[in-house]
């Protein structure tokens, strides 16, 4: 009798699902590793401890930005607490530097009269703190001012190509107390900057003595105000001061008219010089530092 043939079950290739499982696990593990790398890593601000050491000597809370371009050495920040604001107010200055020698300044003070301290030729911008002011030189930003409550914060670089307007706005948006401040190591979504017309020249007011009185401040970012207007035939009192390390900016070459000019020199950062004159000619008159690196304009109106 012929033997019965047993039906054999088709062979199952177990290698395929096993390989697929291994591949899936590998992809998941790799994806998780990549996910962890892409996740925002937070650390305490490197300069926070040093900031808190000087906090007790300041009459206001010191703020630092969470976001800052990575090329700046945060740990090596230079802290100066002996500075004075435009109106003589106590001020702190934080100077951050790069290996290539570029600098970024963060200055903070409580204005005695906020309305009188303006960033001339700037344009208004909105931040989460409210209104801010952007000052540009050419196609690049020179300075940004914001008010955080009563505190005024200035962020700027002497070299307008060190940071972009978007980067300075992001620094302003992420500013906060040094205590428990977090610094994000990933690239943030930078805000859009919409162009608007620059503000007109600052109109110098007439004081109770009938004198057009103006405080002209030179900083590493330029003059404040950079453009101002006065009336012809009305006496002017110009008070010249400096804010920070300005190099040749401590010398002001100022035109009295189209034929004559005078030089004002500040011997120390705390010094001030006063110039009294009466404008006799209308037009625009450019004032500069001794090397013409800093420039501003006085407009004399009829």
pLDDT at residue 226, as a whole number? 83
Residue by residue, pLDDT tens for the chain (302 residues) are 444 444 444 444 444 454 444 444 444 444 444 433 433 444 568 888 888 888 888 888 889 988 888 899 999 999 988 877 777 788 899 999 998 888 899 999 888 777 767 776 678 888 888 888 887 755 555 688 999 888 899 998 877 677 888 888 888 888 888 765 555 433 445 445 444 455 578 899 999 999 999 999 988 767 888 889 999 999 999 999 998 777 788 999 999 998 899 999 999 888 999 999 999 999 999 998 887 667 789 999 99
pLDDT at residue 164, as a whole number? 82
Whether pTM > 0.75 for this model: the answer is: no
pLDDT at residue 293, as a whole number? 66
> Which domains does the chain show, CATH number per domain?
43-184 (3.30.200.100), 202-301 (2.60.40.420)
pLDDT at residue 67, as a whole number? 87
Greatest Cα pair distance in the chain: 136
- 187 by Cβ neighbours in 10 Å (0-12 / 13-18 / 19+) ranks as exposed
Please choose, from the candidates 134, 133, 138, 76, the residue with its C-alpha nearest in 3D space to the C-alpha of residue 104.
76
pLDDT at residue 235, as a whole number? 97
pLDDT at residue 149, as a whole number? 86
Residues 6 or more apart in contact with residue 116 via CB below 8 angstroms: 87
Please choose, from the candidates 88, 153, 256, the residue with its C-alpha nearest in 3D space to the C-alpha of residue 144.
153
pLDDT at residue 9, as a whole number? 47
């Amino acid at each position: 009798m012929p033997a019965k043939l047993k039906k054999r079950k088709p062979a199952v290739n177990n290698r395929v699902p096993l390989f697929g499982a291994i591949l899936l696990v590998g992809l998941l593990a790799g994806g998780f590793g990549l996910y962890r790398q892409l996740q925002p890593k937070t650390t305490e601000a490197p300069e926070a401890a040093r900031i808190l050491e000087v906090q007790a000597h300041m009459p206001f809370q010191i703020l630092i930005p969470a976001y800052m371009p990575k090329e700046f050495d945060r740990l090596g920040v230079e802290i100066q607490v002996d500075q004075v604001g435009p109106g003589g107010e106590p001020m702190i200055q934080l100077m951050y530097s790069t290996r290539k020698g570029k600098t970024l300044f963060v200055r903070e003070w409580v204005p005695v009269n906020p309305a009188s301290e303006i960033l001339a030729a700037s344009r208004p911008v909105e931040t989460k703190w409210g209104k801010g002011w952007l000052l540009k030189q050419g196609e690049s930003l020179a300075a940004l001012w914001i008010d955080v409550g009563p505190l005024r914060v200035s962020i700027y670089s002497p070299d307008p190509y060190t940071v972009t307007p978007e980067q300075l706005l992001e620094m302003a948006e992420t500013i906060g107390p040094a205590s428990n401040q977090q610094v994000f190591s990933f690239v943030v979504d930078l805000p859009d900057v919409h162009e608007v017309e620059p503000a007109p020249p600052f109109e110098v007011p007439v004081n109770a003595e009938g004198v057009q009185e103006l405080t002209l401040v030179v900083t590493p970012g330029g003059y404040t105000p950079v453009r101002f207007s006065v009336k012809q035939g009305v006496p002017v009192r110009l008070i010249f001061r400096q804010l920070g390390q300005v190099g040749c900016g401590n010398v002001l070459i100022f035109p009295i008219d189209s034929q004559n000019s005078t030089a004002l020199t500040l011997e120390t950062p705390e010094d001030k010089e006063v110039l009294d004159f009466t404008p006799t000619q209308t037009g625009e008159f450019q004032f500069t530092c001794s090397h013409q690196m800093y420039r501003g304009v006085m407009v004399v109106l009829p």
